[in-house]
Copies of this chain bind each other. A is one copy, B any other.
């Protein structure tokens, strides 16, 4: 089974490393990283990764994994990437986005008519790409599976592992990686976070969100999707 993660500058690294931790352990799986070029990239906080190969040298993948992160914005008009994503998605058994990786799929037109999710801060943008936004941590729609923000990729990958190899395999991986989480606070969603914490996080993300909104509106116009006010 060939599993491939898209690697790009300024991704959020755990969108990739969380699923890698799970999916690389599937029986007979080979999990590789595919870059737009052969150059190493840095995640948004500076962690370096080197692609195993470029997307142009990738075989048809069984699992196409698209992480997100602030660097997603720079990929939204990359037509060569869009063509690659559409071709891979067509032949893949599963297409799995994490966080704002969903927006990258949206730019390629792959969200149209699908139920999907993404990071809470960008959730309201999904309809502009033709998707129905679902407020769940993991959303499955046919061969597509969408994990919400960042660490939701671990939950999504375990769901995907069970889809592909059955619950026993997924549960064994969960046991080996001791995934019985105990967050010391209850602040992982806008609904549970203290109001001041939410306000600070929204303020820090405002500039990036404004750019993502403008991009999403362009795609809505291109796709002929009506939109009103976007929050």
Residues of B within 8 A of A162 (CB): 184-185
> Is residue A197 contacting chain B, with contact meaning CB distance below 8 A?
yes
Known: A24-B46, A49-B48, A185-B162. A171 touches B148 (CB 8 A): no
> Is residue A88 contacting chain B, with contact meaning CB distance below 8 A?
no
Report the minimum CB–CB distance from A19 to chain B (whole Å): 10
Q: Which of B12, B49, B179, B197 contacts A150, CB < 8 Å?
A: B179
Give A171 to B195 CA distance when docked, in angstroms. Answer: 11
Q: Are A167 and B185 in contact (CB under 8 A)?
A: yes
> Is residue A177 contacting chain B, with contact meaning CB distance below 8 A?
yes
Of chain B, the residue at the smallest CB distance from A44 is B24
Q: Are B154 and A184 in contact (CB under 8 A)?
A: no
Of chain B, the residue at the smallest CB distance from A50 is B48
Stretch of A59-67, A126-134, A186-194, A209-217 with 4 or more beta carbons under 8 angstroms from chain B: A186-194
Q: Which of B12, B46, B158 contacts A183, CB < 8 Å?
A: B158
Known: A20-B13, A45-B20, A49-B48. A158 touches B171 (CB 8 A): no
Report the minimum CB–CB distance from A108 to chain B (whole Å): 23
Query: How many chain A residues touch the partner (CB < 8 A)?
Result: 65
Q: Are B181 and A193 in contact (CB under 8 A)?
A: no
Q: In residues 12-54 of chain A, which contact B (Cβ within 8 Å)?
A: 12-14, 17-18, 20-21, 24-25, 31, 33, 40, 45-50
Q: Are A45 and B18 in contact (CB under 8 A)?
A: no
Report the minimum CB–CB distance from A159 to chain B (whole Å): 5
> Is residue A201 contacting chain B, with contact meaning CB distance below 8 A?
yes
Known: A175-B193, A197-B171, A201-B175. A183 touches B180 (CB 8 A): yes
Q: Are B200 and A177 in contact (CB under 8 A)?
A: no
Give A204 to B181 CA distance when docked, in angstroms. Answer: 23
Give A99 to B48 CA distance when docked, in angstroms. Answer: 23
Residues of B within 8 A of A18 (CB): 14, 17
Of chain B, the residue at the smallest CB distance from A136 is B182
> Is residue A226 contacting chain B, with contact meaning CB distance below 8 A?
no
List 8 additional A-B contacts (Cβ < 8 Å) besides A154-B183, A155-B181, A171-B197: A12-B21, A17-B47, A24-B45, A40-B50, A155-B184, A170-B187, A179-B188, A181-B181
